[in-house]
Amino acid sequence: MNARTHPVPEQFDDPVQQREAATLGMWAFLATEILFFGVLFAGYTLCRVRFPEAFAEASRHTDMLLGTIETAVLLTSSCAVALSVREVQLGGRRLATALLGVTALLGISFLVMHGFEYYAEYQEGLIPSIHYTQQGVYAHGMAIFYCLYYFITGFHSIHVTIGVVLMGVMGWRTWHGAFDQDYHTPLELTALYWHLVDIVWIFVYPVIYLVGRAG
C-alpha cells in the first residue's frame, strides 16, 4: 500500500494517535523481550556468584577479539537503521533503502563471525553434552558457563536472523515507496526491535567475553 493512500483505521482519531498506539504496543513487546533475555542473565548472575573462578576461566576461552568486532558491527548497524528512519522522515528513499541494506549486511556478518566462534569452540571441545573435553577442577563450572553462553548467544542470534529478514522486508517496502514523511510506523518499529537486539548484545559482551581477562 502506498504511504500516501494509507488510511487511518476507524478506532483511531488521527495518524498521531495511531502511531502512539503502535509504538506503545511495540515497547510493551520489547519489555517482554527484556524479561525473556533477563531470565538468562539472572541465571548467569547466580551461577557466576556460585562459580566465580570457573566462569573467569571459561570466559578466557572465548574469542575476545571477535566478540569486540561483533559488538562494533552491531553498534554500527544500530546507527545505520536509526539514520534510515531519519532519512525516511526527511523524505528520502534511496539512501534509506541503502542504509537498511547496510544494516542487514552487518547483521549477516555478525552471524557469520558467530558461526566461526561456534566452530572454534566445537574444535576446542567446549560444547557441553555434544563435544566437551575440559578437565580439571573448573570443568563443571565451565560447563554451566558454556550452557548459558549457548542459550544466550543462540537466542540472540535467532533474534538477529529475524531482524535481518525484517530489514530485507522493510528495505523492499521502502524502495517501493511504502513509507514517507507521514507514514513510516512499521519501519520505526522494526528499528526499535533491532536496537533492542543491540542492547542485549551490549550486555552479553562484558559478561561473556571480558570476565577474568586481567588475570
Given the rule CB under 8 A, which residues bind another protein?
13-20, 23-24, 27-28, 30-32, 34-35, 38-39, 41-42, 45-46, 49-50, 64, 68, 71-72, 75-76, 78-79, 81-83, 85-86, 89-90, 181-185, 188, 191-192, 195-196, 198-199, 202-203, 205-207, 210-211, 213-215
Cα angle value 30/5/7 (rounded, 5°)? 55
CA distances from 100 to 33, 37, 42, 143 (A): 23, 25, 33, 38
Of 75 and 125, CB closest to another protein: 75
Task: Give least dist CB 209 to another protein, A.
Answer: 8
Q: Is the dihedral of CA 152, 157, 162, 164 positive or negative?
A: positive
**Other beta carbons less than 10 A from residue 123's beta carbon:** 10
Whether the CB-CB separation of 74 and 106 falls below 8 Å is answered with yes
Of 16 and 158, CB closest to another protein: 16
Task: Give least dist CB 198 to another protein, A.
Answer: 6
Task: Give least dist CB 38 to another protein, A.
Answer: 4
Task: Give least dist CB 212 to another protein, A.
Answer: 8
Q: Which of 133, 137, 130, 171 is nearest to 154 (CA)?
A: 130
Of 81 and 164, CB closest to another protein: 81
Residue 126 β-bridge partners? 132
Of 17 and 123, CB closest to another protein: 17
